[in-house]
Chain A
């Protein structure tokens, strides 16, 4: 069965510092990985997906199949990056999302 693990529930960094949110997964097939973000009082929204290999709001994530990881990185954190971040993968014919338990990122001034 597929599983997504985010080891850090809480992460605090200072503005301008690099940030890395960890995500590990277990899945027997070829997964499609995503990062979703939820800002305060807003709905869950897609941040980026590995197949598009894009950078959104300065965030990037590389799929490492050997380490089964999909860590989210940003070189210089901003206060507006403070939010809850969820790593997720899709599987099955219905492409249902399996989410990790999330990491609350706080960027301090």
Chain B
């Protein structure tokens, strides 16, 4: 099991463009969460998907949207990119939402907005 995988590894975009990041959860996991990690900061929760629906959302604007597919993989879309969106985007998966379920993180996608 490769664990949580994310693609691409790195990405460079221009202000105003749109970007799509992808995540495949660990085998047996059906819940995917996305986090943004700015330089020198801890990860910040963006949103979570379970049963193909957005279940919870952090304090991020509507420019950030997502999707979960029937195979539990997920996409994060960011529209109208700003310089401040430059960050490491982490995907985490877990086998549901019960207490004690560990969230496993992917390696992240490094997004640079110029």
Q: Which A residues have a C-beta under 8 Å from some C-beta of B?
A: 4, 9, 32, 43-46, 49, 51-52, 86, 88, 92-102
> In the bound complex, do residue A99 and residue B43 qualify as a contact, i.e. CB atoms below 8 Å apart?
yes
**In the docked arrangement, what's the CA distance between A93 and B45, Å?**
14
Q: Mark B50-88, 1 if CB is under 8 A from A, else 0.
A: 100001101000000000000000000000000000000
Q: Which B residues have a C-beta under 8 Å from some C-beta of A?
A: 3-4, 33, 35, 40-45, 48, 50, 55-56, 58, 90, 92, 94, 97, 99-108
Task: Identify B97's interface contact among A4, A46, A93, A98, CB under 8 A.
Answer: A93
Task: Identify A94's interface contact among B4, B48, B99, B108, CB under 8 A.
Answer: B48
**In the docked arrangement, what's the CA distance between A32 and B33, Å?**
17
> In the bound complex, do residue B106 and residue A94 qualify as a contact, i.e. CB atoms below 8 Å apart?
no
Given contacts A93-B97, A94-B56, A96-B56, 7 further A-B contacts (CB under 8 A): A32-B99, A44-B105, A49-B102, A93-B55, A94-B50, A96-B58, A97-B35
**In the docked arrangement, what's the CA distance between A94 and B92, Å?**
13
Q: Can you list 21 contacts pairing A with B, beta carbon distance less than 8 Å? A: A43-B108, A44-B43, A44-B105, A45-B104, A46-B103, A51-B99, A52-B100, A86-B42, A86-B43, A93-B55, A93-B56, A94-B50, A95-B97, A95-B99, A95-B101, A96-B33, A96-B56, A96-B58, A101-B42, A102-B41, A102-B42
Report chain A residues within 8 Å CB of B56: 92-94, 96
Name the CB-closest residue of A to B4. A43
> In the bound complex, do residue A45 and residue B105 qualify as a contact, i.e. CB atoms below 8 Å apart?
yes
Report chain B residues within 8 Å CB of A44: 43, 90, 105
The 3 closest A-B pairs by CB, nearest first: A94-B56, A99-B42, A96-B45
